[in-house]
Amino acid sequence: MTFLINVENWEWSDIFTITLVGYSVVFLVLVLLIYVFKLMPVVLNYKKRKSVEPGGAKMKGTEAHYVAGEVNAAIAMSLILYFNEQQHDDESNVITIKRVARIYSPWSSKIYSVNNVLR
Amino acid sequence: MRKFATVFTIMGLLYVLSAFFGQAELYAQTAGASSGSLANALNVFWKHTGFSSVDYKYLLMIAVGLFFIYLAIRYNYEPLLLVPIGTGIIIGNIPLMEGFQIGIYEEGSVLNYLYFGVLKGVYPPLIFLGIGAMTDFSSMISNPRLMLLGAAAQLGVFGTFIGAMAMGFEIREAAAISIIGGADGPTAIFASSKLAPHFIGSIAIAAYSYMALVPVIQPPIMNLLVSKKERLIKMKPPRAVSKLEKILFPLIGLILTLFISPSALPLLGMLFFGNLLKESGVTNRLAETARTSLIDIITIVLGLTVGASTQAVRLLEDPVTGEMVNKGFLTSGSIKIFVLGAFSFAVATAGGLLFAKIMNLFLKEGNKVNPLIGAAGVSAVPASARVAQQEGLKADPSNHLLMHAMAPNVSGVIGSAVAAGIMMNFLL
């Protein structure tokens, strides 16, 4: 096995090398990801932007292509409320009791009386 | 306090009981009990019980296990982790007579088979698969510059590495300990299984304990480093992210990060794979399994075995001197690891907060970031993001930082896995 650092006889310079290189690589990886994901919306919307630009309406960067999440939430909420209102409007407007239920209740039944006197 | 007094009284009673039975054993021996007699049978039975070999160190560890369970149930601190780990600590510290294939370190025992997954680093990548399948990276994709905070918080890893070297640890041990600063349990276990397997228990317990204590550790550092004015900064809401971007993220992330740090392949490979299962939209069943049943099973086994590996006393022969040395949990090494763990969490939090403040120097008004979300860069998903949210709400009840804090939070996961990979690149 080959070691980049002599693990038995290390020096403080090795430790600082690992620290500096390691920290820089973590940054490098994430900075690369940042650039990729900053560029991605631009690349993905390249065709769309080209088709819009000749018409005159120029779009600035990527912002114009996306709607903020809270705007989406507001639209969704208004749609839900709208459809709920529709359901409300469709109701029959009949508020009378259709059927009077005569449910048996033994509260005054003679058969449960304490004294069932034979007649 | 009364509950603790009760626990310690019970412990004391157990100890007195063991001392009493020890005398009984001595009596049986001096009386010259013949084989087959009741006294001898009792003596044999006694030797097989945990009381015969109990030591105050075992009782101390059992108290630690009970304390973990108490924290989880009473204060709801990471209960999914602390209950299995706490129970594992109790299981691992029941004094046993060796040779019956019962203990976690005895070959052929059930616990030993389960512990194999920890020792060989099988469980952490499976946990990462589940994390990938349950994480929504859209807040990070919508505002990629916040990833820098996740990178900055890795200062905890590298600061602890220097600290551990200064405290006299061997270089690979120091590297394994430093990953505690990544505030990511599976990554810490994975790195220590490769770099310092004899410290897995201590490192895992330190990492998970401090992760559970994130709501206690981070707010004082936030109060110290972030001014009242900075806490009031309101950030722009994140933009909506298209489905295509979400699908491309795991693929690009996988290729890019692993080409730079191939040692992080088992962790990041599984993380991005899990995320692809979630975002592809065609593998819902697999994603559902990965984020529910699979991760639950692995959490149970991992927590229990990591807890059980913290045997207080474990006498092993020193390869150099030939003397029997305690390689168990209760050693000066473990105490140092706990000290370094606290230090690493503090440094990581400070790193994220300070970097956010530095970023603000270069950002225009309106684009500034609230420095509180820098603390979420320490990983510990989602506890540290929740802390940023709560601290933000304390300053301004209408300022919700959770979505913004999730970006450094998940990039911290990637950052800590990359940092662990780099350590392994250098030292394996």
| 3-state helix/strand/coil string of chain B | CHHHHHHHHHHHHHHHHHHHHHHHHHHHHHCCCCCCCHHHHHHHHHHHCHHHHCCHHHHHHHHHHHHHHHHHHHHCCCHHHHHHHHHHHHHHCCCCCCCCCCCCCCCCCHHHHHHHHHHCCCHHHHHHHHHHHHCCCHHHHHCHHHHHHHHHCCHHHHHHHHHHHHCCCCHHHHHHHHHHHHCCHHHHHHHHHHHCHHHHHHHHHHHHHHHHCHHHHHHHHHHHHCCHHHHCCCCCCCECCCHHHHHHHHHHHHHHHHHHCHHHHHHHHHHHHHHHHHHHCCCHHHHHHHHHHHHHHHHHHHHHHHHHCCCCCCEEECCCCCCEEECCCCCHHHHHHHHHHHHHHHHHHHHHHHHHHHHHHHCCCCCCCCHHHHHHHHCCCCHHHHHHHHHHHHHCCCCCCHHHHHHHHHHHHHHHHHHHHHHHHHHC
Contact A18 B161 (CB under 8 A): yes
**Distance, CA of B149 to CA of B385 (rounded, Å):** 12
Beta bridge mates, B325: B316
Q: Identify which has the larger pLDDT, A112 or B96.
A: B96
Report the DSSP pairing between strands B315-317 and B324-326: antiparallel
Single residue among B41, B74, B93 that ends a domain in this structure: B93
Most confident of A38-42, B197-201, B272-276: B272-276
B contacts of A29 (beta carbons < 8 Å): 151, 256-257, 260-261, 414-415, 418
State the best of A2, A28, A37, A40 to mutate against chain B, taking most chain B CBs within 10 Å: A37
Q: Is the CB of A32 less than 8 angstroms away from the CB of B162?
A: no
pLDDT tens, residue by residue, B300-352: 999 999 999 888 887 777 777 777 777 788 888 889 999 999 999 999 999 99
At residue B345, what is the residue type?
F
Tokens 């105490």 — which residue? Answer: B335
Return the pLDDT at A1. 45
What are B136-152's pLDDT values in tens digits?
A: 888 889 889 999 999 99
Residue B35 pLDDT more than 60? no
Contacts of B426 in chain A (CB under 8 A): 3-5, 18, 21-22
What does the pLDDT read at residue B331?
86
The share of chain B scoring above pLDDT 70, in percent, equals 93
AA letter at A60: K
Q: Is B50 on the interface with A (CB under 8 A)?
A: no
**B251 interaction partners in chain A (CB closer than 8 Å):** none
pLDDT score at A58 = 52
pLDDT(B28) > 50: yes
Q: Give the list of residues 6+ apart from residue B265 with CB closer than 8 angstroms, or none.
A: B258, B421
Pairs from A37-46 (Cβ < 8 Å, separation ≥ 24):
A37/B140, A37/B141, A37/B144, A37/B245, A37/B249, A37/B252, A38/B144, A38/B145, A40/B141, A40/B245, A40/B248, A40/B252, A41/A65, A41/A66, A41/B242, A41/B245, A44/B242, A44/B244, A44/B245
Instruction: Give me the pLDDT at residue B116, please.
Output: 93
Domains contained in chain B, number: 2
Instruction: Let me know whether B78 and B185 are in one domain.
Output: no
Indicate if B85 and B139 belong to the same structural domain: no
Task: Answer yes or no: do B176 and B291 share one domain.
Answer: yes
Collapsing DSSP to helix, strand or coil, A15 comes out as helix
The answer to whether residue A61 scores a pLDDT higher than 90 is: no
Rg for chain B (alpha carbons), in Å?
24
Q: How far apart are CA B255 and CA B272, in angstroms?
A: 10
**Higher confidence at residue A60 or residue B39?**
B39
| Mean predicted confidence (pLDDT) in B73-80 | 87
Is B63 a member of any domain?
yes
B25 vs B367, residue with greater confidence: B367
**Per-residue pLDDT for A48 more than 60?**
yes
Chain A interface, best mutation among B148, B171, B258, by max A CB count within 10 A: B171
Closest CA of chain B from A23, distance in Å: 7
Interface of B with A in 226-245 (CB under 8 A): 236-240, 242, 244-245
Q: Does residue B98 sit within a domain?
A: no
Interface test with A, best of B251, B254, B403, B418 (most A CBs within 10 A): B418
Query: Would you place residue B183 in the very low, low, confident or very high pLDDT band (cuts 50, 70, 90)?
Result: confident
Domain assignment of residue B321, yes or no: yes
Average pLDDT, chain A: 74
CA-CA distance, B386 to B212, in Å (whole number)? 12
Average per-residue pLDDT in chain B?
87
Q: Do B422 and A26 touch (CB under 8 A)?
A: yes
* Cα–Cα distance, A30 to B42 (Å, whole number): 65
| Cα distance from N-terminal residue to C-terminal residue, chain B | 47
pLDDT of residue A3: 54
Which amino acid appears at position B368 of this protein? K
Indicate whether B111 belongs to any domain.
Answer: no
- Chain A hits for B257, Cβ within 8 Å: 29, 33
* Across B84-88, average pLDDT: 94
Domain annotation covers residue B110:
no
Please report residues of B whose CB lies closer than 8 A to that of A27: 148, 151
Give B 289-348 residues with CB within 8 A of chain A: none
* Same structural domain, B271 and B411: yes
| B100 neighbors B241 (Cβ within 8 angstroms) | no
Residues of chain B with Cβ-Cβ distance to A22 below 8 Å are 157-158, 161, 419, 422-423, 426
Q: Nearest-CA residue of chain A relative to B415?
A: A26
Residue B372 and residue B263 share a domain: yes
Last residue of a domain, one of B75, B93, B111: B93
Summarize the confidence of residues B111-130 as an average pLDDT: 93
**Rounded mean pLDDT, B196-212:** 88
Which residues does chain B have within 8 Å of residue A10's beta carbon, measured at their own beta carbons?
171
Shared domain for B29 and B79, answered yes or no, is yes
Domain closes at, from B93, B112, B136: B93
Q: Which of A81, A7, A108, A65 is nearest to B142 (CA)?
A: A65
What pLDDT digit, counting tens, does each position of B151-173 carry? 999 999 999 999 999 999 999 99
DSSP A4: S
- Exposure string of A9-47, with b = 16+ CB inside 10 Å and e = fewer, is ebeeebbeebbebbbebbbebbbbbbebbeebbeeebee
**Smallest Cα distance from A66 to chain B, Å:** 6
Size of the A and B interface in Cβ pairs below 8 Å = 124
B383-389 contacts at long range (C-beta below 8 A, 24 or more positions apart):
B383/B78, B383/B211, B383/B212, B383/B214, B383/B215, B384/B183, B384/B214, B384/B218, B384/B349, B384/B409, B384/B412, B385/B409, B386/B215, B387/B214, B387/B215, B387/B218, B387/B219, B387/B222
CB B277 within 8 A of CB B266: no
Task: Write the DSSP symbol of residue A61.
Answer: T
B290 and B156 within one domain: yes
Could you tell me the pLDDT band of residue B18, with boundaries at 50, 70 and 90? low
> Chain A partners of B403 at a C-beta cutoff of 8 Å?
69
B128 and B206 belong to one structural domain: yes
Which of A22, A29, A33 is opposite residue B158, by nearest beta carbon? Answer: A22
**Domain ranges, residue B296:** 122-427
Q: Which of A1, A3, A24, A33 to mutate to test the interface with B (most CBs of B within 10 A)?
A: A33
Q: How far is CA B384 from CA A54, B153, B340, in A?
A: 48, 12, 19
pLDDT at A10 (0 to 100): 79
For the segment B202-220, the average pLDDT, to the nearest whole number, is: 89
Which residues 119-158 of B have a C-beta within 8 angstroms of A?
140-141, 144-145, 147-148, 150-151, 154-155, 157-158
Residue of chain B nearest A17, judged by CA positions: B426
Is the Cβ pair A40, B248 closer than 8 Å? yes
Mark yes or no for CB contact B157/A22 under 8 Å. Answer: yes
Same domain? For B224 and B288 the reply is: yes
Tally DSSP H helices, then E strands, for chain A.
3, 0
Q: How far apart are CA A46 and CA B180, in angstroms?
A: 43
Nearest to A27 among B151, B170, B171 (CB): B151
Q: Is residue B297 part of a domain?
A: yes
Does B412 fall in a domain?
yes
pLDDT digits (tens, 9 = 90+) for B254-305: 999 889 888 889 999 999 999 999 999 999 999 999 999 999 999 999 999 9
B143 and B81, same domain (yes or no): no
Q: Are residues B21 and B129 in the same domain?
A: no
Q: Is residue B104 part of a domain?
A: no
Identify whether residues B58 and B171 lie together within a single domain.
no
pLDDT at B72 over 70: yes
